Structure 1
Amino acid sequence: MSLLFKNLRVHQVFGANTDVGKTLLTSALVRASAALKNEVFYLKPVSTGPMSDADDEHVKRFAGAYKDAVRTRCLFRYDDPVSPHLAAQMSADRKGEKTAIFPTDSTFVTSVANHIRQCASESRKSAHMYVETAGGVHSPTLSGTTQLDAYRPLRLPCILVGDSKLGGISSTIASFEALALRGYTVDAILLFKDSYYKNYEYLTPYFAERGIRVDSFSTPPPRHEDIDANFKVTEAFYAEMVLEDTKEGGIYDLVKHLDAYHEKRLDELASMPQRTLDTVWWPFVQHGLNNEPQNVNVIDSAWGDYFTVFNGHHTPRPTSSHSVLEPQFDGSASWWTQALGHGHPALALAAARAAGRYGHVMFPQATHAPALRLSERLVRDGPGQGWAARAFLSDDGSTGMEIALKMALRTFAASRPERPREWMKELGVLGLKGSYHGDTIGAMDACEDTGVYTCEWHHARGFWFDPPTVGIRKGRTVVALPGAMGGDEASTGSLVQTYDIQSRLDTPLAALYREHIERTLHKLSDARLATLVLEPLVMGAGGMIFVDPLFQRVLVDVARKLLEVPVIFDEVFVGLHRLGLKTTSEVLGVYPDISVHAKILTGGLVPLAATLANSKVFKAFWSREKKDALLHGHSYSAHAVGCEVANETLDILERMERAGQWDEAKAAWAANEQSGTVIWSLWAPSFVDMLSRTPGVKEAMTMGTVLAINLEDHEAGYESHSAQMVLSSLAQAVGSIESGTSAAPGGGPFSVHFRTLGNVAYFMTSLNTPDATIREVEDRIWAALNSKTLN
């Protein structure tokens, strides 16, 4: 991930095109840095073509009197003077390597990162480093991935060399925007002063308005065919550009500007913890327990499954030769939102595409392509397939649930026109203890009064069953019954068999559930229950509670039969493949009347929620009176950016599914089971089995991307700190600084950011998290558990 050192200022040099003078200007920077008494490192990660034309050789040749202070390196060199991806392929073909192109993006970026770390460790004083890319910003690397995406995990601060030729204004601006779109920071733009096109005259004020410095330099002399003559004129060009006698102005001002930006970045990161404590009010955090700078997790950037975090405010602080930034695995998938990892370029492009086309446009009685396409696919091909008729687009999960409750209550009321309006004011919901549907008042009122997520205005409206739960204990899948049903454990076979609802519907346990639910509901005949609200399969915020799906299925059947109420599935957390399922109806075998989707819907990039409803619910609002409409909306309803990103996310997920992205994980969990099982996890079955047998672990449970570890704790509950304490070592970066070997992009030590729910620790991956990353995180969790003496 990103690297930042106190003693080594690093800049990556990109070009707006090929042949724009990257190497000439980088050579001048190297020479000026050395003239200012700095150690200087130059890295050309990939070089193609003969050694006589190699950029690293040019930099060394024209370092002037400072050759001893300049160290150059090329990591991957190929003889063919073609694009790096073709050079790598041609080299592989000659070696008979027909099945793959080497190195991979991971190997490539780790090699670059390791070299930068090595230079930082070797530097004994203030040092500068320049990493020069090949061609334009989108030129392919060895694997064929464009440079912008291949180098992005490192997110080094950039220098962009603009194009001074015909068309160069456009290519320079386009290159800058491509860098910005992927989260790079451009500290300076350099280009030559072509006397005819004068691109610099246009680009200087253009970028000045955007706070970007532009430096322009005299055009280099034409290349001589005679080697000695060419050396003399080139050396004279550098001598005139790098005034070594005065060491002032021109290129030196640029070097000092880059140094100042480096120091500014260090100062900004160091100041952020205290500034945050002085100004910010965090959600779900007790500030009285987290009021020291070391409690602030300063996130400098994010890529894939990792944050890049500042460690300079921790004890012990990193030395000057160690990076003050380090990778941190995002173990909660950023509160369950991430589907495809952070900084996904396709999602960023989708957001920019819609922002540029629409900005934001109001939605009532209007339509736009992103919202219409999203609504159609959610209803017809997505989670609403087979039952939904309409999609209502809002902003977040809590809002989506408020809308769902309004829909359900109106549907219930419309089916009982004989009831007076005052009777309707006391309607309540039927649900499960431990449920959570959001932090808005209406969503809170649809949950029991637990005293944790509620507030002074909270008024619990309804009845909540204590549900039986599923867990893996000592290697066995068991269903734990609540006290009202005997409090025993029931063995239901394997995990796959437990979620085979159709085969369990005629079992004694199903009969027990049915009798218990019917008896309870008969006692609640005057409770005015108007809707059944469920978090299907897993209740997230309540403690990652895996509810027995058989109980939920029987509850739906009985509620519809006895109460004749609409059913809401809150799939904000569990839907769209989070549990390995497009929709939980695949397991429960029954459709809701209303369902709510968010989080993964946009890949975690922007807020958006969709509330789906069947035709009966929609018709409950249909009339000739405005007052009968669903009078619920927000200024940003059906936000075009969110809709476009959601469509892009669903496109990617569909491609992943067709390509068999999760087939290996499915096969691991389906061993010795009937084919076609829908229950699987990205977490290894052997690992989960070991967890369930670990002393101090009450049970472990997993589905899809989710792993939950329930620790033995006599004071179990949301306010318990047991899970946080037991796994506290995960917050420490572990790995080899010297080798840089780890699952994190770019290698090196990494920590694990995780959240707990009392005595329950949970971890979550994205849907495209590499196997190697998951296996290494599993090792870290295992080591943390076994480093403590569990009670």
Structure 2
Amino acid sequence: MAPIQSLLWRRLRIHQIYGANTDVGKTIFSTFLCNAASNHRGGADRVAYLKPVSTGPGDEADSNHIKRFAPSTSTEVLYQYDIPCSPHTAAIASGRPIPSDHALLRKIQEAAAREAGLGPGWLFLETAGGVHSPGPSGTSQAELYAPLRSPVLLVGDSRLGGISQTISSYESLKIRGYDVASVLLFENDQYNNDGYLEEYFDNQGKIPVTTIPEPPTKHSNQDEDVAALAAYYSHTVSSSKIGKVVEVLDKRAEDRISQLESMSERAFKTIWYPFTQQKLLSPSSISTIDSAHGDHFQIYKSQGAAKSSDKPLIQPAFDGSASWWTQGLGHASSQLTLAAAYAAGRYGHVMFAEAVHEPAITLAENLLRGMQNPRLTRAFYTDNGSTGCEVAIKMALRASRDRYGWDVKDKIEILGLKGSYHGDTIGAMDASEPCTFNEKVDWYQGKGYWFDYPTVNCTNGKWVVHVPEALREHLGGGEEFEALSHVFDVSSRSESAVLDRYETYVQLVLEQLGKQGRKFGGLMMEPVILGAGGMIFVDPLFQRALVNAVRKSAHLIGNAHVQPTGENDWSGLPVIHDEVFTGLYRLGRFTPSSFLGVHPDITVHAKLLTGGLLPLCLTLASDSIFKTFESDDKSDALLHGHSYTAHAIGCNVAVETLNELQTMDSRGDWNWARNSNWKEDPVPDSSQVNAALPEAWSVWSRDFVTEVSKRTEKVSGVWALGSVLAITMCDADGGGYKSRAATDFQAALKQGEAWSVHSRVLGNVFYIMASQKTSQETVEEMERKLLYCLEKI
């Protein structure tokens, strides 16, 4: 299913005409605009009028009015329904198949492309009824047409109550990312709405308000009515005013294109980009994003010197990194935008020390409840995953130091996994082994021991647990499985000798570290998938064994005589799970910790938490960790915070996000992937409870993953879980973050006439992820493109 493209061509001026209400004169103004555009630039431009959905008798259609009074205008109606009522009601009553939103938008896109191919001109798209009148599917027009991103001409309401209607309509459009270019309305001396609205919209960014006299009262005699309207349209003052509107619109369109053309060059000279070697950067490699909607960016596509080209200036690009792993409910989600606006309007930002507001307490309670972890009782707010991890480290280290009686001057370290990475702040960096991210950071001092481990990949159709050569003496030669779900069957696998080998190895390492006099304050790891380290899939049984061994090894870590006070108290070391990347359904479950069958003592949550709209993080902790900081001395408190701690806007968006994700899960929105793709025997009734569904699944199909895994001349391994797909490209030099083995694949996906893929790579690992809203059709289209580009490179 090809994505929807925003409507922007160099030589075609496209505008949407919305009304603050029904019967406010949209078609009257459309007629004036069509005539004015026909006279613009000496009559050299073509003018077209498009009514996507029209209701009422065909002979009374708005397009017929345009034909009569703007005869040089070409007109088109996409869907005509005879009953004069709301489009969705008329569509149902027609008995004809109801077009999907995507189908309707595609037809608009195709009509615009045809007009663009005919030469310089104008296209006016007139909506039906008011801003929130529904389209044929029932979707509000404000939602339906948002992906088109065409500037809006808002026809205001000059009648009693029209000020409120007009401003409300404007706000509905504004909050959904529309650019309102001008407000048009009839003069009405009785209510003087125009005077108030002129001042209001001047304060809203100098939006011009243009008024013209009301049309004549409708005559009972059709000939007289036509003559009166013809005289009305020839009125010099009105035509002159609308002519000036057209001039302003033309200038705005030129300015918009100039802005898009210059942005990458300006950014190249001004912006210091993250995770980018800027010496290798050029303006042409910077993507200028005009807007985003659903799964796609809308990216400006330079045409170089071809100023007369009829090619579109905007191209959709699938957001393959889910906007650095934050995007879950689609770009420009009005559900989240409204949640943000509500909290902004109610609170703005309020300080959080010794205070509380409803979004903060609701979010904390909902997240704790969703984790279903009896150990977790407290929520600490920070502003991003890295600082949330720093807080987790502070919690764990203090708890261990306090329990084992270590001196404040003792060096306390962290246990973790090779390749793990917990963020770019100094404390979080110190919890990761030396790597590309920190090797040239002056203050970096790696403070920990990082275990090597078995990894999982699908290779040549089999799911293989690969054990590094150096560990085979202790861990054996690895395993091979027919299905992904078998890898995650940690309960059955725990009954084998493999778990014992894993635990014995961990305890051996802990014993050796203890003999070296090293002290550790916590076990910190990303459950299942190590993200920034290279999308590494760790054998979940090894992570389970690591937790088990650490919790049984107080005698090797600190003081064997100090015992936990209850079953939910930490033992050995506090276990921290960094779920910033992997949590909240990214891997198909609310918490990836459940894959391991263990309950951590501290967890960190960000990224998907707010659906990609705002930065926010929560660190959850057990009661025993919390009580470590209780004291009569304030300096014993957890002295960590941010000016925007628990900002109400972020909290309210996160409440909405969690609720939507959990609703989608309970409703079975992903059962198409669980059943069709990954279950050996598909569940016949998709409404069955999730307990009947497979333990591990992905939106990326099993057949697709198997097919990619067999391209062994280019691919050394592949895995898919939840919304994430990772392909490790063959690299004779061994791979790693500095490898460029995946860049050819990335470059191939960036090309495309109709649409492309905007992606990131981690060395020789190419990864791509869907949002939690991505449709089956979109995923299947992506799979075809990935296979095509893999064959092409």
Give identity over the alignment, percent. Answer: 45
| Corresponding letter in the other structure for 1:370 | P
Q: May I ask how many residue pairs the two structures share in their alignment?
A: 751
Query: Which residue in the other structure is 2:460 paired with?
Result: 474
Matched, 1:13 2:17: yes
Query: Which residue in the other structure is 2:618 paired with?
Result: 610
| Corresponding letter in the other structure for 2:591 | T
How many angstroms apart in 2 are the aligned matches of 1:451 and 1:637? Answer: 31
SS at match of 1:136: coil
| Corresponding letter in the other structure for 1:725 | D
Matched, 1:119 2:115: yes
How many angstroms apart in 2 are the aligned matches of 1:348 and 1:259? Answer: 30
How far off its partner does 1:639 sit? 0.7
How many angstroms apart in 2 are the aligned matches of 1:726 and 1:237? Answer: 61
How far off its partner does 1:727 sit? 3.5
Q: Unpaired segments of 5 or more residues in structure 2? A: 558-571, 683-690
Matched, 1:406 2:394: yes
1:577 to 569, 577, 585: 585
Query: Which residue in the other structure is 2:780 paired with?
Result: 775
Query: Which residue in the other structure is 1:743 paired with?
Result: none
Structure 1 stretch displaced more, 682-691 or 209-218:
209-218
Query: Which residue in the other structure is 1:197 paired with?
Result: 191
Query: Which residue in the other structure is 1:745 paired with?
Result: none
TM-score (norm 1): 0.93
Query: Which residue in the other structure is 2:688 paired with?
Result: none
How far off its partner does 1:428 sit? 0.4
Query: Which residue in the other structure is 2:687 paired with?
Result: none
Cα deviations by residue, 1:516-573 (Å, 9 ceiling, x for unpaired): 2111111100221110001000000011000000000000011111131100000000
C-alpha contact (below 8 Å) 2:746/2:759 kept by paired residues: no
SS at match of 1:197: coil
C-alpha contact (below 8 Å) 2:503/2:548 kept by paired residues: no
C-alpha contact (below 8 Å) 1:166/1:197 kept by paired residues: yes
Measured at CA, do residues 732 and 319 of structure 1 come closer, stay the same or move farther in structure 2, by a change above 3 Å? farther
How many angstroms apart in 2 are the aligned matches of 1:25 and 1:773? Answer: 39
C-alpha contact (below 8 Å) 1:383/1:576 kept by paired residues: no
How far off its partner does 1:209 sit? 1.6
How far off its partner does 1:434 sit? 0.3
Measured at CA, do residues 355 and 241 of structure 1 come closer, stay the same or move farther in structure 2, by a change above 3 Å? farther
How many angstroms apart in 2 are the aligned matches of 1:316 and 1:686? Answer: 44
Matched, 1:216 2:207: no
Cα deviations by residue, 1:120-172 (Å, 9 ceiling, x for unpaired): 112x2x20110000011000000000001011111111100000001110111
Matched, 1:679 2:696: yes
| Corresponding letter in the other structure for 2:495 | D
C-alpha contact (below 8 Å) 1:10/1:129 kept by paired residues: yes
How far off its partner does 1:675 sit? 4.3
Query: Which residue in the other structure is 2:89 paired with?
Result: 86
C-alpha contact (below 8 Å) 1:3/1:326 kept by paired residues: no
Matched, 1:506 2:495: yes
How many angstroms apart in 2 are the aligned matches of 1:678 and 1:591? Answer: 18
How far off its partner does 1:488 sit? 4.0
Query: Which residue in the other structure is 1:742 paired with?
Result: none
Query: Which residue in the other structure is 2:141 paired with?
Result: 147
How far off its partner does 1:319 sit? 5.4
How many angstroms apart in 2 are the aligned matches of 1:311 and 1:570? Answer: 38
SS at match of 2:419: coil
Matched, 1:650 2:673: no
How many angstroms apart in 2 are the aligned matches of 1:443 and 1:651? Answer: 30
SS at match of 1:524: helix
Cα deviations by residue, 1:15-42 (Å, 9 ceiling, x for unpaired): 0000110100110010111122121010
1:278 to 269, 274, 286: 269
How far off its partner does 1:316 sit? 8.5
C-alpha contact (below 8 Å) 1:31/1:242 kept by paired residues: no
Query: Which residue in the other structure is 1:538 paired with?
Result: 529
2:723 to 676, 699, 705: 705
Measured at CA, do residues 243 and 149 of structure 1 come closer, stay the same or move farther in structure 2, by a change above 3 Å? closer
Please give the residue correspondences for 1:39-188 in structure 2 after superposition, counting only pairs within 5 Å: 39-63=46-70, 67=71, 69-92=72-95, 102-122=98-118, 124=119, 126-188=120-182
SS at match of 1:74: strand
How far off its partner does 1:485 sit? 1.4
Matched, 1:226 2:221: yes
How many angstroms apart in 2 are the aligned matches of 1:321 and 1:535? Answer: 49
How many angstroms apart in 1 are the aligned matches of 2:495 and 2:89? Answer: 62
How many angstroms apart in 2 are the aligned matches of 1:636 and 1:384? Answer: 28
Cα deviations by residue, 1:324-365 (Å, 9 ceiling, x for unpaired): 111000001011111111000100000000000000000010
Matched, 1:483 2:478: no
How far off its partner does 1:644 sit? 0.3
| Corresponding letter in the other structure for 1:354 | A
Q: Unpaired segments of 5 or more residues in structure 1? A: 96-100, 735-748
1:553 to 512, 520, 544: 544
How far off its partner does 1:208 sit? 0.8
How many angstroms apart in 2 are the aligned matches of 1:274 and 1:324? Answer: 17
Measured at CA, do residues 400 and 104 of structure 1 come closer, stay the same or move farther in structure 2, by a change above 3 Å? same
Query: Which residue in the other structure is 2:635 paired with?
Result: 627
Query: Which residue in the other structure is 2:420 paired with?
Result: 435
How many angstroms apart in 2 are the aligned matches of 1:443 and 1:354? Answer: 31
Alignment root-mean-square deviation, CA: 1.5
SS at match of 2:546: helix
How far off its partner does 1:241 sit? 4.7
Cα deviations by residue, 1:229-266 (Å, 9 ceiling, x for unpaired): 1001111110005777xxxx411111100000000000
Query: Which residue in the other structure is 1:253 paired with?
Result: 244
